[in-house]
Structure 1
Amino acid sequence: MSFLQISLPKPPFFFKTKPPKQYTTTCCPKNPSIVPTPTGKFISWRRPHSRITLSAVAAENDDRSTDYVTKENSVSVIFLAGGMGKRMGVSMPKQYLPLLDQPIALYSFYTFSQLPQVKEIVVVCDPSYKDVFEDAREKIKTKLKYALPGKERQDSVYSGFQAVDVNSELICIHDSARPLVLAEDIEKVLKDGLLVGAAVLGVPAKATIKEANDESFVVRTLNRKTLWEMQTPQVIKPELLKKGFELINREGLEVTDDVSIVELLNHPVYITKGSYTNIKVTTPDDLLLAERILHTSNSQS
Structure 2
Amino acid sequence: MQRLFALSILLGILQGVLPFVVRPSVHRCVGACRANVVLRAETDLSDVGVVVLAGGTGSRMKANMPKQFLPLLNKPILTYSLNLFLKNLTPSTVILVMNKQYHPEYQSWVDNSNGKLHFAEPGVERQGSVSNGLQKLTEVNSSLKYIAVHDSARPLVTINEVNKVVADAKKHGAAVLGVKCKATIKRSLDGEFVTETIPRSTLWEIHTPQVIEIPLLRKGFEKVEKEGLEVTDDASIVEQLGEKVKLTEGEYTNLKITTPEDLEVAGSILRERGGV
TM-score tier by shorter-chain length is 0.7 to 0.9
Count of aligned pairs: 232
Report Cα offsets for 1:135-177 as digits up to 9, x if no partner: 2454552511111001000000001111112211110000000
The alpha carbon displacement at 1:115 in A equals 4.2
1:236 to 212, 228, 249: 212
> Which amino acid in 1 is paired with 2:99?
D
Counterpart for residue 89 of structure 1: 62
Distance 2:245 2:177 in 1: 11
Kept after mapping to 1: 8 A contact 2:89/2:159? no
Task: Give the superposition deviation at 1:193.
Answer: 0.7
Q: Is the aligned partner of 1:190 residue 2:166? A: yes
1:129 partner amino acid: Y
Q: Write the letter of the residue equivalent to 1:97.
A: L
Matched residue, 1:146 = 119
TM-score by length of 2: 0.80
Question: How much has 1:117 moved relative to structure 2?
Answer: 3.4
Contact 1:119/1:142 (<8 A) preserved: no
Alignment of 1:47-86 (within 5 A): 70-86=43-59
State the TM-score, normalized to the length of structure 1: 0.74
Aligned pair partner of 2:241 in 265, 287, 293: 265
The aligned residue for residue 95 of structure 2 is 122
* 1:178, distance to aligned residue in structure 2 (A): 0.4
SS in 2 for 1:271: strand
Cα 1:132–1:233, aligned 2, differ >3 Å: closer, same or farther? Answer: farther
Preserved contact between residue 165 and residue 177 of structure 2 (Cα < 8 Å):
yes
Per the alignment, residue 136 of structure 2 pairs with 163
Conserved? CA contact 2:166–2:211, under 8 Å: yes
The alpha-carbon distance between structure 1 residues 250 and 285, as it changes in their structure 2 partners (threshold 3 A), is same
Classify the secondary structure of the residue corresponding to 1:244.
helix
Q: Which has the larger radius of gyration?
A: 2
Deviation at 1:113, TM superposition (A): 1.3
SS of alignment partner, residue 79 of structure 2: helix
1:201 aligns with 2:174: no
Structure 2: runs of 5+ lacking an equivalent: 1-41
- RMSD of aligned C-alpha atoms? 1.6
Q: Distance in 2 between matches of 1:275 and 1:137?
A: 25
Q: Deviation of residue 296 (structure 1)?
A: 1.5
Q: Which runs of 5+ in 1 are unaligned?
A: 1-68
CA distance, structure 2, for counterparts of residue 72 and residue 275 of structure 1: 21
Structure having the larger proportion of residues in strand: 1
What corresponds to 1:216 in structure 2? 192
Tell me if the contact between 1:96 and 1:104 (Cα under 8 Å) persists in the aligned partners: yes
What is the aligned counterpart of 2:202 among 226, 237, 241?
A: 226
Q: Distance in 2 between matches of 1:91 and 1:85?
A: 10
1:181 corresponds to 2:157: yes
Distance 2:86 2:162 in 1: 12
Tell me if 1:291 matches 2:264. Answer: no
How far the C-alpha of 1:134 sits from its partner, in A, is: 2.3
Give the Cα–Cα distance (whole angstroms) in 1 for the partners of residues 75 and 116 of structure 2. 21
Distance between the aligned counterparts of 2:115 and 2:247, measured in 1? 27
Question: Distance between the aligned counterparts of 1:215 and 1:100, measured in 2?
Answer: 38
Kept in 1: contact 2:86–2:112 (CA 8 A): no
- Which deviations, in whole Å up to 9, do the C-alpha atoms of 1:98-151 show, x marking residues without a partner? 101210000000111134431111000001111243224545525111110010
The equivalent residue for 2:10 is: none
Percent sequence identity over aligned pairs: 47
What residue in structure 2 maps to residue 57 of structure 1?
A: none
Tell me the amino acid that sits aligned with residue 95 of structure 1. Q
Closer, same or farther in 2 for the Cα pair 1:200/1:132, shift >3 Å? farther
In proportion to residue count, which structure has more helix? 2
